[in-house]
Each structure stands twice: as C-alpha cells, then as structure tokens.
Structure 1
Amino acid sequence: MDVSFRIAMPADVPAIRALVESAYRGDTARQGWTNEAHLLSGERTSDEEVAGQISQPGHHMLAAEAEGRLIGTVAITAKPPRHCYLGMLSVAPSLQAAGLGRRLIAEAEAAARRLFGAEIMEMTVIDRRPELIAYYERRGYRQTGEIRPFPYDLAEGQDFRMIVLDRVLT
C-alpha cells in the first residue's frame, strides 16, 4: 500500500476524530489490537481537542493517507526546550499490525526534530496496557519511572495511571 504523510489541516478535524474514535473505543476498535474498548467507554477525544492539536502553536498532527482516505494519525506537542510529546497515535483498526504505527512514530519523531528541534520524545500509556508498553519499548522507548494520574474522568471507578516513556531522538 502506498502511504503518504502530511501535516493535518483544520478541514481534517471530522475525519481525524472519527479515526481516533474507531481506533480506541467501541466495537470497531475491537477489530484492532491497540484499543481501549475493554477498559474505557465514552468518547476518546472531541472536535475541539483535535482542532487545537492542529491549530495551536507548538502542536501538530500528522495524517497518513492511502488511496485518498485517512488511515492513521499522530499528534506532536512541543515541550520546550528539548522535548516533544507523542500522543493520539491512531491506525485504522483493519490496518493495525501492518507496520503503519511504526511508520507514523518515525514520521512524528522526524517532524519533532525538524519543526521543534526536539531531542527527546515522550509519551504516556495506561498502566493496564503492558502489551502496548512492550510495543513502544521495541520501538526504542523506555519507561522513565514516572507515573502520572489518569487525565480523564472516564475510568468509572478504576484506578488507572499513566506510565511515562521516552526516547532520545538521534
């Protein structure tokens, strides 16, 4: 499959939000291996959050397209002076485990270096996702030992925490 990558634009907000929701939550998400549907219900993001990630200074989203459709996305947020945060990595559930996530991570890391001069990429993963943490560790990320509170009030009585991982960008 021929995949192209570009910086997302405001007109992409509805398609990006739909992709993120399909990758993380609900029955569609269960088609892939990276979903949170077994842990969380409700919406994963909002139009406002996606729009902010596209248009606010220090924020970018990359869009991956094939055959004229959005198939993946990832958010990059500058954390000066040397860091960027990688978030909302989403691949269409039917295309997961085909290498697109790895390519999106590599594109995000290159963009973080190019756009923000980043030397370190950081991310967080729900502590209940050891298989996802292992995936990122295979991509060169390491657990920093830092644990952050879960940022959403969607956990319905669960005591979720966020594991911080980072990687030196070379």
Structure 2
Amino acid sequence: MTQIAIRAATSDEVASLHPLIERAYRGETAKAGWTHEADLLFDDRTSVAELSALIADPDRVILLAHRDGALIGCLQVAHVGDDLAYLGMLTVEPTLQASGLGRRLLAAAESEAVARFGARRMEMTVIHRRTELIAWYERRGYVPTGETRPFPVDPPRPELDFVVLEKAL
C-alpha cells in the first residue's frame, strides 16, 4: 500500500472519523474485515462526544491514515504512566484489512508514543476471545502480561474480559 499519509487528528475531523470506527468494529459492514467485534457487541463502539474529548486531551493523540484524501484508518495513543503509553482503537477500513495498513499504523503509533510521550513501553487490551487478533499483535512483538481487565459494561460480562499485552519500545 503506497501514498498513505499518517498524521494527528483535529477536532474538525470527528464527523468523518466516527463512521469509520463504527464501520470497522460493529454491524454488518465490519464483517467485511477480520478484526471486527460485530459478533460480540451490538452497541456503538464510540461516540462523537468521546472522540472530540480524546482529540482535545493533551495526553492522547488520534492518528489518522489517509490515501488519496480518503480516511482509511486510525488509532489512539495515550500517555498513561512515566514511561508507558496505551494503544487503542486501531481501526482499518474493513475492505482494506490484511493490506498492511494495520502494521503501518502500529509502527506509527509506537514512534508517536516515543516522540510525543517519551514512552519506553506500549500496552493494549484485547478481548480475550479474539485469539486471532491477539496472535497478530504477538507476531508484532506484543506479549501477554498475564493481567486481565474487565470490559467496561454494567453489568459485567466476563466473556468480554480484556487481556493486557505489552511491548518494549
């Protein structure tokens, strides 16, 4: 995949960012890709208000990937500790999954975590039932820490617990 521009999101891009995330994570459109949650969760993945707050937070950055002016991917990097950053919401347009864009976004996130937040480690959480996705991250150097975290719903749904993965940067 060539001609990809990756840069930080601005607040005026939330309107195009939100539908991309929903298409990739939820509903029938997500099933065009292999990393969706459409069989596990049926609500919205995020909201316009949440995305606006993330973009406004100085301890977070959302990186966008564009090709020929079209938004095709994104992810979030957050500063969560002295040398620790968190990777979240890695999103690739469903029809472009398995094209190498996810690897490019992941590399950009790791570089951004070091440059922007001085991170030496990156962590992420993945629903434990998504074994293919966990294996994908493991092939890129992320290692399960043995820690689990509850999925943020009430009442709790243990079948959706997260595993924590970490990588030294």
The answer to whether the superposition gives a TM-score over 0.5 is yes
Cα distance between partner residues in 2 of 1:47 and 1:108: 22
Task: For residue 14 of structure 1, report the CA deviation from its aligned partner.
Answer: 1.4
**SS across alignment from 1:18:** helix
Cα distance between partner residues in 2 of 1:122 and 1:23: 21
Residues 116-135 of structure 1 correspond to what in structure 2 (within 5 A)?
116-135=117-136
* Residues 1:64 and 2:65 are matched in the alignment: yes
Runs of 4+ in structure 1 off by over 4 angstroms are none
Q: Give the alignment's Cα RMSD to 1 decimal.
A: 1.3
* Residues 1:166 and 2:157 are matched in the alignment: no
Cα distance between partner residues in 2 of 1:153 and 1:73: 27
Q: Deviations over 1:58-91 (max 9, x none)?
A: 0100000001110000001101200000000000
TM-score, normalization by structure 1:
0.95
Residues 137-148 of structure 1 correspond to what in structure 2 (within 5 A)?
137-148=138-149
Q: Any unmatched runs of 5+ in structure 1?
A: none
Cα distance between partner residues in 2 of 1:159 and 1:166: 21
Q: Which residue of 1 aligns with 2:22?
A: 21
Work out the percentage of aligned pairs sharing the same amino acid: 49
Cα distance between partner residues in 1 of 2:167 and 2:98: 22
Distance 1:104 1:85, change over 3 A: same
Q: Which residue of 2 aligns with 1:49?
A: 50
Cα distance between partner residues in 2 of 1:87 and 1:15: 18
- Kept after mapping to 2: 8 A contact 1:42/1:154: no
| More deviation, 47-56/20-29 | 47-56
**SS across alignment from 2:159:** coil
